[in-house]
Amino acid sequence: MEHDQTAFFSASRFSEGEAVSVKDRLAEEVPIALEYNGLSHAVMLATPGDLEDFALGFSLTEGIIADPAEWYGCEIWQLQDGIRIAVEIASERFHGLKERRRNLTGRTGCGICGAESLQHAVRQPGDVSGVTASFTSEALHDGFAQMEAQQQLRKQTGATHAAAWMEESGKVTLLREDVGRHNALDKLIGAMAGNRIMPSGAALVTSRASYEMVQKCTFAGIGILAAVSGPTALAVRMAERSGLTLAGFVRRSGYTVYTRPERIR
């Protein structure tokens, strides 16, 4: 099922004191409810495109499943108030998901309380220290140029982030877009898993690098994450623990590598 990812709205555009009536194309953002084996799990706001990739990537990077083989498929339903994605996963993983939800039930409403809650909030990253992929700085800059050229939704709306996969050859072979930067990365990781693409390359993102993005990459086995903007301190600490190469401020004039710089020559 295809869903419209953009919509047109009437607007007034002002420039140098003059107003012009225009039809402006905007990115859609809709509630998307994810349920697993009939159990409601989360509602996310996202751009309604590449939804199977999104559901699979989210399932992997949130630790709901550990391997694409534990994913049995999904059905996508357009509802009046949003979209419902009904996912079927292996029964063992579903029991683990129910147990996790049970452990979080009945907590106090003060936010993150106690050691167990902190462990749920900031999960340990995967270990990608053994990843051997590496790139020259020229290849890194060329990868970002390729990513920019492929961002169709951004060209149409100016409102979406992108996550792209650059293979060791330096070619950007996959790109996913969304109004949410984490959603775009989940879509990319889901597309890679669905197409059985080995994570020997680099993930490129058009945003800052949060610890969640580092975490998602390591769970997918990705050893290099490069971002247009800067990382957070927690992201750098997590990248150090996991052995991930984290680069930020990747612009035409240069870039900054915070961890494992030997992978970018």
Residue among 74, 110, 113, 217 flagged as catalytic: 110
Is residue 74 flagged as an active site residue? Answer: no
3-state secondary structure the chain: CCCCCEEEEEEEEEECCEEEEEEEEEECCEEEEEEECCEEEEEEEECCCCHHHHHHHHHHHCCCCCCHHHEEEEEEEECCCCEEEEEEECHHHHHHHHHHHHHHCCCCCCCCCHHHHHHHHCCCCCCCCCCCCCECHHHHHHHHHHHHHHCHHHHHHCCCEEEEEEECCCCEEEEEEECCHHHHHHHHHHHHHHCCCCCCEEEEECCCECHHHHHHHHHCCCCEEEECCCECHHHHHHHHHHCCEEEEEEECCEEEEEECHHHEC
The residues annotated with a catalytic role in the active site are 110
